Amino acid sequence: MRGQLDPQSSMFHYFSPESRVPADHPLRRVKKLADRALAAISADLNALYSSVGRPSIPPERLLKGQLLIALYSIRSDRQFCEQLDYNILF
């Protein structure tokens, strides 16, 4: 018997990106190393920011983005933002 296509069921997919990336993928090790390095300079980063005003993007997130740009030879920040929509590894 031929199954029926349900257009609504494919509209929502709930899964963890962690569950989709292989456990032995090299980016997992790079992420751990980057997290350790950023934790070591966290106090210095905190000192650079004001306690008043609008919150910024966390510098750790920006630095991790720059690391991915370097690792994957992405030509620009704009192209990286586009790649974020396509690559679940990021």
Domain-embedded: residue 63: yes
CB-based contacts of 17: which residues, under 8 Å, 6+ apart? Answer: 88
pLDDT (tens digit, 9 = 90+) per residue, 26-62? Answer: 999 999 999 999 999 999 998 888 888 888 888 999 9
> Per-residue pLDDT averaged across 8-12, rounded?
62
Q: What is the CA radius of gyration of the chain?
A: 18
Q: Under a CB-based contact definition with an 8 Å cutoff, are residues 37 and 44 in contact?
A: no
| Cα separation, 75 vs 10, whole angstroms | 33
Structure tokens given for 20: 């989709």
Domain-embedded: residue 68: yes
Range of the domain at 44: 24-49+59-85
Domain-embedded: residue 71: yes
The number of folded domains in the chain is 1
Residue 3 has pLDDT above 80, yes or no: no
Structure tokens given for 69: 């740009």
